[in-house]
Structure 1
Amino acid sequence: MKAFTLVLTSLAIAVAGMAHGAEIDLNHIQRLGPVNQKSAAPLSKSAHADALRANFVAKLTQPDTTQPVLVFNQPLTWQSAVEKAEGEGWLAYQLPLSTQRFTQGTLKIKGLENPQVYLNGQLVKSADEVPLELANGDYQLIVLADGQQAEVPFSLDWQGNSDVDVLSFVKQDTHRVSAQQLFDAKTISSMQLSPNGKYLLQSTVEYSPSEGDKAISVTELRDVASNQVLYRWQDSLPQSSAFSTDSKQLAYVVGQQIVLLNIADLSLKVAADKVENVSGLHWYGDTLLFSWQKTFKADEKATSKRYQALEDRWSYWRNNSQIYQLDLASGAMRQLTESKQSSDLLDSDIRLGKLLLTRAVVDYAEPAHSLSQLVELDLATLSETLIGEYRTFGGALYGENGMFILAGPTFMDGLGKQDPALEVNDYDGQLYWRETKNQQVTALSKEFDPAITSMTAVAGRDLILSVIEGDFAPLYFFDKSQNKFSKIDTGVEMVDSFGIATDQALPTIVYAGTSATVPQQAYVMNIKSNRKLMLFDSKVTSYATTRLGQMEDFDFTNKQGQLIDGRVYLPVDYDATKKYPALVYYYGGTSPVGRNFSGRWPFNLWAAQGYVVYVLQPSGATGYGQAFSGRHVNAWGKHSADDIIEGTQAFLQAYTAVDPKKVGNMGASYGGFMTMYLATQTDIFAASMSHAGISNLSSYWGHGWWGYGYSGVASRGSFPWNNRELYVDQSPLYNADKITTPLLLIHGDADTNVPVGESHYMYTALKLLNKDVELVEFAGQDHQISARNIRFDWWDTTMAWFDLQLKGEPEWWNTLYPDTKK
């Protein structure tokens, strides 16, 4: 048992349990108080003691400890803990902790009355002995107490559970990024700009440990020029918000009401009441268009359900939404559409007196086994004109004397294909133009490699496009008169959300985004001048004292001569003379792994925990051109696996600090499939993790809610009865006997996209084959694990597995899953 004793009345302390017998620099240990009892009674005397402490500790954990803390007019400063504590009253101690691995033990406290132990601002326990379990990282320990015990010297004693449970107490000006930071930090979730560019509707989300999984969501109406808040919502957030075309009013849904906010005087008016399930507000002159859903109510007494279509597995499919119009002057409403299929509003043109609608029709005749109708509605007569029925339709907007259409390359018999003989991926979004006069459709983006994901019309004739360009997500301006695409210099690598002043020919835009190692920033920008003004900087608000490792681009050329894009995240304080374990991450499906700062896959956190992280974009991803993305179709791992294996080998040759025997790999969904498939193809990896992966292509195709539709693109024209080679030979399940790599399977037991059985099939096979396999299910979780506390459990499970397998550190895994036999 390793132990150390810290006695704060001595100038030098010998500490057992510290690596190499290092001593603590007492100048890094600080004390606040005692606080004069006349100024503040002992915290524990209050009926709301826990809340008082929590609020105070939140202030104490602020990074700047040089400024005095004013407690009821008594100025207090942090002092070196070696100085004698004068007076009586409650006090606080602050101590930096740092670990290089999962560490557990007990902190023992002597000499304080009613001590409370907080770790990174969160209460661990109120006791003289406090157990601690610390993941690899940096921490701030604070001990609050009602006072000092008479004649009992204050001391802290740490007893680790074993020789490896060692803490370091060297204070640093910065700290490694934590899981809590990445999840809890305030971020902008949406931005909406008024047509004239003067007003911004902005929504933010952040989390607090005291609120658990409940998000702290706020929406604000701001003046763009001053960035000042004009109006604020928190308890009842506005939904389906829409600025009027003259930018004088904001319409939104709250509860069962449609409300109008007059921006000039901030007065509110209820435009419609008792309108449940209303969404999609859209201004049309002085009226509002909206979608009104009629929810299907099943017979509660029924014990069976007759499926009407493949889509009937979707819980919402029998709901029906139609378009309505609200006259704001009179309050009168009328129904504009009536159909067995839901009608979705795409756009309106008040000059033409028409609306663009789309409807999804059940039709499995051809891949991708869905059919979209594009319909134009004449508001004067309520007559409809069917413009067309399309298999790869993504949206449409009115332009000047025509309309823009988003669709896949095979739209209208391959109109968007660069080469008629080319195999293409219909998730590779393309832009088209339909002329009003002759109804001729032309392809606009054949030579534009980025995949277009959304479009917004500006000044009625041009577009702002959101695209996927390699592993970047930028914005482009499309000039229709010149048929020219121009990248907007946003200064961020991944645009998360944006708003556009649609009245301006060269519009003002607002946007929020991140880069691989830069947290979220938000700007307002004039496209014409390219001038930017920062509106929000998460680095300042949430990461001011955070130390990140470096990120380096790392590309290689595969055997086919194709450049494969990638990047490498290095551990904090990386030393090329040392040896590190590594993690390889990929998706392998239709999309590249973007350069987001945070998200479900926290590359910066993995690097902070001592791993070199290699992220690559194997063949088949969109954003690299039609030929590259087309390699995804009818492949299911054939090309992607080769790229991942080649890339890992090239990575190991370039980064000699990585131990080639300690490399792990992981992926989710299609990436989870890739992980299982790779385990049947190579032993280059020492450990693998598959989250919500597909093990049996046939079962996913038939049972996943969207399996048949996705396979209509990814396996175009191939079915279990006509392409056994694809559905059997490419399924990891049918090759399970080839697997030798230890494999962790993680799955939500409520996953409807990739049903949990996909992991069970592989778990059963590997257990019967006596292979090294673990299965961890997360109760009630769907395809993505989003809830805060469960997200942390998921991240911990993943990293504990790799610590076990790649670092030879079983303690974290065995603590999480103590019944595991190793």
Structure 2
Amino acid sequence: MKAFTLVLTSLAIALSGMAHGADIDAKYIQRLGPVNQSSATPLSKSAHADALRANLVASLVAKSGQTQAKTVQIFNQQLTWQAASAKIEGEGWLAYKLPLSTQRFTQGTLTVKGLENPQVYLNGQLLKSADKVELELANADYQLLVLADGQTQDAPFSLDWQGKSEVDTLDFSAQKSQRVSAQQLFDSKVISGLTLSPNGKYLLQSTIEYQASKGDSAIQVTELRKLSDNSVMYRWQDNRPSSAVWSNDSKQLAFVANKQIQLLNVADLTINVAATDVDNVSGLQWYADSLLFSWQKPFRADEKAISKRFRALEDRWSYWRDNSQIYQLDVASGFIRQLTDNSTSTDLVDSNLDKNTVLLTRSPVDYSEPAHSLTQLIELSLNDLTETVIGEYRSFNGAIYADDGMYITAGPRFMDGTGIQDPSIEVNDYDGQLYWRDANGNVSALSKDFDPAIGSMTKLENDDLILTVTEGDRAPLYLFDKSNRRFTKIDSGVDMVDSFSVAIEQSSPTIVFAGTSATVPQKAYKMTLNSSRKQMLFDSQQLNYANTRLGEIEDFDFTNQHGHNIDGRVYLPADFDASKKYPALVYYYGGTSPVGRHFTGRWPFNLWAAEGYVVYVLQPNGATGYGQAFSGRHVNAWGKYSADDIIEGTKAFLKAHSYVDPKRVGNMGASYGGFMTLYLATKTDIFAASMSHAGISNLSSYWGHGWWGYGYSGVASRGSFPWNNPELYVEHSPLYHADKITTPLLLIHGNADTNVPVGESHYMYTALKLLGKEVELVEFNGQDHHINTRQARFDWWNTTMAWFDLKLKDEPEWWNSLYPETKEQQ
């Protein structure tokens, strides 16, 4: 075993046990103190010692991380980080900091000598208050900090690193930046919502961040800001506003908080309660001087009931028996009247003050045609509360009033296929299209020749629209010019627009938006629609990633055997060296959506690259955003086209990238992507290891049991059922071909998953175990389809990467640390 001992004297520092056994210059080891601040007791003896030290370390780490600051001001004393070898003068508490870097999972023991009551911190988090600390370090860069009351008299200060084995070495070379970490990607502050006043003067901005000390509890803040100088006018942290909406004159902000509808007066920042005891209220909309809103009445099950008779397929949804109806609040009097009363929940869509009408939707149970759901679009007259059904649709997303008609978003099959580009091709109803319905009820397609898939729409005062779209693997904003029926991309400068808001009543509307790019953290800007000039409002990169280095990204597209262009991108390791051979990870979804160019999220491509992998992300046939023919290949295919594209794409990727080791390539995906991983395992052996998260192994069981199974299959398997197309449901189910699988397979599933029930992984695990194949199953307790809580997310990421380190790097230590073998298992 290799040992590393660091002895600090006034002359030199001797180090050993590094990756290459070389000495480290003393300037990379720094000391603060002794700090001669008079105090009643030493740091560790205070009645609030833990809090005192935690706050001190948090401040030191923050200041060090922001600018690599050399000086620290404590009360009236100016302190300087200096070489640890510098002569110690005086008495007081001490802090030592030391950079650590690993290139693989590393474990061992750190021993501290010569300090009174030492505490060891790693990246600002307390590991232990002791002179011996066990370290388990993932492949990353770290800052080690040791805090102590002072020196001991009997021994000089020293640090001893004892690696568990010969591979457990540390590199102490100082670096100007650090590789991105999991904690940064999850914890960093980001904007979660933007609501701009109609006149463009005021912005309601919400942010979210996490701290290790608060665990899974997010820190959420909402601020009212003056847009001209971005100054804060009002701030909420407790009882934050939801469903916030500006009055048309921008003088009042209505919102829901503390089971009340409240009104903030912008002029004097006073808050008045307009309605109280209104729990479960949402979707506020101003209607002249009144407010429209949805009010839900939750279903109360009989606590003594021992059985439940299902009323419909939708009854598998825990919330389906809740009932929401539409109400109107007269702000002046506080009187609330109920506008709708129906056994089926009613959703508020839009309102028209000139016509004194409201648009509503309902979804009665109706399975007669795919996608086995029905949406009624209804116009309600507020004069006499009579309802007129405008239409009943199998494909419908949203509607909004305009001066002489209304805009509607729906799939290509809307109104008997009005939006289909080519009648000879299959279409995917998840491929959003834009329609116009005139005052006489005539419907025309506006986006038939527009390939991006349309999401939401916001109407401007002149009836033009701001649209969110999926365009390839990007999510930009588009302006739709009604008079010219023209779509124009808004120059946002980001790949993915996370949220936006627009001042709809300005002649040259101001727009604010927040977004990210593949290797650029979130930024927020304001701009006018007639100019590409932007002013920054928020910069996560400066706040949270100032000293972080990322690998580069490059596009990699290829033309498949059918002549289709398959879009892709490649993430390179942060310290990429083209002369080396790297392991690679291939990621895809394969379902009806592309894998977007988000900076972070549930799938941290930048983190995988920081851990030494080349990452190839591709968009196989079936994804929206590439045109109707491309997305239509998702329907009644279940892997048919996607698998071919992934296999062919991986081969093309390997041929084009000589620095990737073709024998060390892994693949993974989740949900439909998890299905694709299982399906691919029955079709190819080009991957050395695979991971399927929440993957579907049996199409029939998912169709019949998953929360969205029958509905999703109504689009993905349109017109096909187990009784009329058994070839699709059997031949495309990986379970029925488990005997063909030779690739080592990791199955990950939340055992509270309602979308893809955990049984889908159990079916495959059972089959492969009985077949004697190499398979692992890891369940995450209490986690649903998405693993969202902080520590569970880190454990999930660690499990995934430990598996690939085991199989692609021949480094079993991380996996064995997470999931050690027991005597019973041996």
TM-score with structure 2 setting the length: 0.98
Q: How far 1:723 sits from its partner (Å)?
A: 0.6
For residue 259 of structure 1, give the secondary structure of its aligned residue in structure 2. Answer: strand
What is the distance in 2 between the residues matched to 1:460 and 1:231? 32
Deviations along 1:472-515, one digit per CA (max 9) or x if unpaired, are 00000001111000000000000000111121354211000000
Aligned to 2:23: 23
Aligned to 1:805: 807
Q: Residue 569 of structure 1 contacts residue 613 of structure 1 at CA under 8 Å; is this kept in 2?
A: yes
What is the distance in 2 between the residues matched to 1:419 and 1:379? 41
Q: How far 1:207 sits from its partner (Å)?
A: 0.3
2:240 to 234, 237, 243: 237
Please, which moves more after superposition, 219-228 or 811-820? 811-820
What is the distance in 2 between the residues matched to 1:277 and 1:236? 14
2:141 counterpart of 1:125 = no
1:505/1:429 Cα in 2 relative to 1: closer, same or farther (>3 Å)?
A: farther
Aligned to 1:454: 456
Q: Residue 10 of structure 2 contacts residue 87 of structure 2 at CA under 8 Å; is this kept in 1?
A: no
2:785 counterpart of 1:783 = yes
2:492 to 483, 490, 493: 490
For residue 675 of structure 2, give the secondary structure of its aligned residue in structure 1. Answer: helix
2:348 to 325, 340, 345: 345
2:635 counterpart of 1:637 = no
What is the distance in 1 between the residues matched to 2:442 and 2:523? 42
Please, which moves more after superposition, 58-67 or 471-480? 58-67
Q: Residue 663 of structure 1 contacts residue 686 of structure 1 at CA under 8 Å; is this kept in 2?
A: yes
Aligned to 2:292: 289
**1:179-190 alignment, distance < 5 Å:** 179-190=182-193
Q: How far 1:783 sits from its partner (Å)?
A: 0.1
Aligned to 2:358: 355
Can you give the 5+ residue segments of structure 1 that lack an aligned partner in the other structure?
Answer: none
Aligned to 1:479: 481
What is the distance in 1 between the residues matched to 2:671 and 2:88? 57
2:248 counterpart of 1:256 = no
Q: How far 1:683 sits from its partner (Å)?
A: 0.2
One-letter code of the match for 1:247? S
Aligned to 2:404: 401
Aligned to 2:333: 330
Deviations along 1:533-565, one digit per CA (max 9) or x if unpaired, are 100011100000000000000000000000000
What is the distance in 1 between the residues matched to 2:584 and 2:772? 26
2:243 counterpart of 1:218 = no
Aligned to 1:6: 6
2:49 counterpart of 1:49 = yes
Q: How far 1:361 sits from its partner (Å)?
A: 1.2
Q: Residue 40 of structure 1 contacts residue 72 of structure 1 at CA under 8 Å; is this kept in 2?
A: no
Deviations along 1:376-401, one digit per CA (max 9) or x if unpaired, are 01101111110000001000000120
Aligned to 1:698: 700
Aligned to 2:732: 730
**1:590-609 alignment, distance < 5 Å:** 590-609=592-611
Q: Residue 525 of structure 2 contacts residue 538 of structure 2 at CA under 8 Å; is this kept in 1?
A: yes
What is the distance in 2 between the residues matched to 1:274 and 1:566? 52
Deviations along 1:789-812, one digit per CA (max 9) or x if unpaired, are 000000000000000000000000
Aligned to 1:204: 207
Q: Residue 515 of structure 2 contacts residue 524 of structure 2 at CA under 8 Å; is this kept in 1?
A: yes
Q: Residue 93 of structure 2 contacts residue 149 of structure 2 at CA under 8 Å; is this kept in 1?
A: yes
Q: Residue 512 of structure 1 contacts residue 523 of structure 1 at CA under 8 Å; is this kept in 2?
A: yes
Deviations along 1:57-94, one digit per CA (max 9) or x if unpaired, are 11111323434212121111000011121111101000
Aligned to 1:530: 532
Q: Residue 8 of structure 2 contacts residue 14 of structure 2 at CA under 8 Å; is this kept in 1?
A: no
Aligned to 1:663: 665
Q: Residue 18 of structure 2 contacts residue 172 of structure 2 at CA under 8 Å; is this kept in 1?
A: no
**1:533-612 alignment, distance < 5 Å:** 533-612=535-614
Deviations along 1:715-770, one digit per CA (max 9) or x if unpaired, are 00000001111000000000000000000000000000000000000000000000
Deviations along 1:323-357, one digit per CA (max 9) or x if unpaired, are 00010111111000111111111101101111000
Q: Residue 12 of structure 2 contacts residue 85 of structure 2 at CA under 8 Å; is this kept in 1?
A: no
Please, which moves more after superposition, 317-326 or 47-56? 47-56
1:653 to 652, 655, 666: 655
2:148 to 145, 148, 167: 145
2:394 counterpart of 1:391 = yes
One-letter code of the match for 1:128? D
For residue 34 of structure 2, give the secondary structure of its aligned residue in structure 1. Answer: coil
What is the distance in 2 between the residues matched to 1:120 and 1:484? 51
One-letter code of the match for 1:57? V
One-letter code of the match for 2:55? N
2:732 counterpart of 1:719 = no
What is the distance in 1 between the residues matched to 2:89 and 2:12? 21
Q: How far 1:22 sits from its partner (Å)?
A: 1.2
What is the distance in 2 between the residues matched to 1:421 and 1:381? 47
Q: Residue 666 of structure 1 contacts residue 689 of structure 1 at CA under 8 Å; is this kept in 2?
A: yes
TM-score with structure 1 setting the length: 0.99
What is the distance in 1 between the residues matched to 2:795 and 2:350? 43
Q: How far 1:619 sits from its partner (Å)?
A: 0.3
Q: Residue 451 of structure 2 contacts residue 627 of structure 2 at CA under 8 Å; is this kept in 1?
A: yes
2:33 counterpart of 1:33 = yes
1:468/1:246 Cα in 2 relative to 1: closer, same or farther (>3 Å)?
A: same
What is the distance in 2 between the residues matched to 1:236 and 1:117? 37
What is the distance in 2 between the residues matched to 1:22 and 1:467? 54
What is the distance in 2 between the residues matched to 1:505 and 1:764? 64
Q: How far 1:40 sits from its partner (Å)?
A: 7.6
Q: Residue 517 of structure 1 contacts residue 604 of structure 1 at CA under 8 Å; is this kept in 2?
A: yes
Aligned to 1:314: 317
What is the distance in 1 between the residues matched to 2:215 and 2:263? 33
One-letter code of the match for 2:240? L
Q: Residue 184 of structure 1 contacts residue 206 of structure 1 at CA under 8 Å; is this kept in 2?
A: yes
What is the distance in 2 between the residues matched to 1:389 and 1:47? 69
Aligned to 2:772: 770
What is the distance in 2 between the residues matched to 1:21 and 1:267? 66
What is the distance in 2 between the residues matched to 1:457 and 1:66? 48
Q: How far 1:460 sits from its partner (Å)?
A: 5.0
Aligned to 1:739: 741
Q: How far 1:41 sits from its partner (Å)?
A: 4.4
Deviations along 1:236-259, one digit per CA (max 9) or x if unpaired, are 111111111111000111121110
2:453 counterpart of 1:427 = no
Q: How far 1:299 sits from its partner (Å)?
A: 1.1
Aligned to 1:304: 307
What is the distance in 1 between the residues matched to 2:11 and 2:160? 17
For residue 815 of structure 1, give the secondary structure of its aligned residue in structure 2. Answer: helix
What is the distance in 2 between the residues matched to 1:760 and 1:96? 44
What is the distance in 2 between the residues matched to 1:525 and 1:42? 54
One-letter code of the match for 2:158? S
One-letter code of the match for 1:230? M
For residue 348 of structure 2, give the secondary structure of its aligned residue in structure 1. Answer: strand
One-letter code of the match for 1:137? A
Q: Residue 13 of structure 2 contacts residue 85 of structure 2 at CA under 8 Å; is this kept in 1?
A: no
Aligned to 2:509: 507
Aligned to 2:71: 68
For residue 735 of structure 1, give the secondary structure of its aligned residue in structure 2. Answer: helix
Q: How far 1:151 sits from its partner (Å)?
A: 3.1
Aligned to 1:371: 374
For residue 20 of structure 2, give the secondary structure of its aligned residue in structure 1. Answer: helix
What is the distance in 1 between the residues matched to 2:10 and 2:55? 32
